[in-house]
Structure 1
């Protein structure tokens, strides 16, 4: 089984422009994975042409089953109001998009026995980002609030894959990872954790109590310096052919690995 994780960045290309559904599918056309964790996924957002990005990723991979969990209703922005989605709700194939949402997704070509979602809360930290002022058009610094963080679990035959996107504040991400570790201990094993953890190198594997299955820098996509995108599993998983590569969309690189129980 080949598993991957990819920060979609709302389907933006290298120039920062959000692509349409057809271009998104084309960018993922040669991605060959059975299960893919996806972060920063838009649904019905004006900024990304109203595309249901989770459904488009699934279509590109030929995956019949997927779930999208919205962390935010509205568009995350330092100058536009948005509402946390609490409790989180999983939306899957055939279910319509009810207004603009933003969150994470987990896509599977393999049959999923059960889906689950976990709320990890939000940190109080704010991230400084540059963006155009909507009143003047001039680029300025804004303090961007942390959004609620989530995890999606897909119970497959023989293992469980958990997708997540942790806080950009390291202390909050570590706290969320500890909570995630406790939740994963209740799921049918072996459990593979996949996602943008916003923690570097060997740190998340050590905290989660697993093994790094991919060891390569993944961010930023153009000239990666650090590894934020991780695939972590127990010692009982054999891992082969780890790969990190750049796609035409997203600001992180795609990380994949082939796994099998020992």
Structure 2
């Protein structure tokens, strides 16, 4: 069984600053994952050809089960607002997705409060940081029937604000404390391996630098385990899109 996580930067390539749908589908297919966690996923946005990237990824990998969960609803710079979970399935949105070739018994969503104050952020071309509001965050979990039995797999993308992302990770941990074990948590946690393991109380299944994609200096993306699974081997995968590298774990 193969697990993978990938922050896709809404499918955009750093090489040409474009979203090429064939390139995106090919990258997803090349991971050959049985369960795949994607972050920074667009749905019906003009910058990604107004397609449902989750549906495109599901087709590319042959995933019969998939769930997109919006963190933000609307269009950037226009109607961008926090998603609350009752958005129409054909509305424009941005968030995370969890996809599975294996049957899913149940889905669970955990909404995470954004940073409560404006935070300084540098933008390209700016000489000084600007105060911005961080975007809302969300986690999605699935109870999956796998060759190794029933496991819980969750996907999350946490804030980059260090003094807040630990609270978000603890919230995910506590919200899923009653979920079936083994429990695998995947995603872009925006923190290093030691801190991720300490706060989650889970052990890493793969170690490797994932960001920035071209010359990675740190590991922001993780696959963590609570419980027992057969021995696993993991690796970092560079793909022709995004500013992150993907992580793949074979169990």
Structure-2-length-normalised TM-score: 0.91
Alignment match of 2:201 (pick from 189, 209, 212): 209
Structure 1 pair 16/166, CA: closer, same or farther in 2 (3 Å)? farther
In the alignment, the residues of structure 2 paired with residue 81 and residue 90 of structure 1 have an alpha-carbon distance, to the nearest angstrom, of 13
Q: What SS does structure 1 have at the residue aligned with 2:171?
A: helix
The count of residues paired between Structure 1 and Structure 2 equals: 244
| CA apart distance, 1:200 | 0.8
Deviations for 1:68-108, whole angstroms, at most 9, x for unmatched residues?
Answer: 0011112345xx5511012x3598xxxx522x210000011
List runs of 5+ in structure 1 lacking aligned partners. Answer: 132-138
Query: What residue in structure 2 maps to residue 150 of structure 1?
Result: 138
Given that 1:66 and 1:105 are in contact with CA atoms closer than 8 Å, whether structure 2 keeps it comes out as yes
2:101 equivalent to 1:109: yes
| C-alpha distance in 1 between matches for 2:120 and 2:28 | 29
Q: What do residues 25-45 of structure 1 show as CA deviations (whole Å, max 9, x unaligned)?
A: 123232111001100000011
Cα distance in 2, alignment partners of residues 90 and 34 from structure 1: 28
Q: Is the counterpart of residue 130 in structure 1 residue 128 in structure 2?
A: no
Whole-Å separation in 1 of the counterparts to 2:162 and 2:173: 16
In 2: Cα distance, 1:234 partner to 1:122 partner: 26
- Counterpart of 1:50? 50
Tell me whether 16-25 or 171-180 shows the greater mean CA deviation: 16-25
RMSD over equivalenced CA pairs, Å? 1.9
More deviation, 10-19/211-220: 10-19
Contact 2:38 2:97 in 1 (8 A): yes
Q: Deviations over 1:133-171 (max 9, x none)?
A: xxxxxx436544211111101101220000000111011
TM-score normalised over the length of structure 1: 0.87
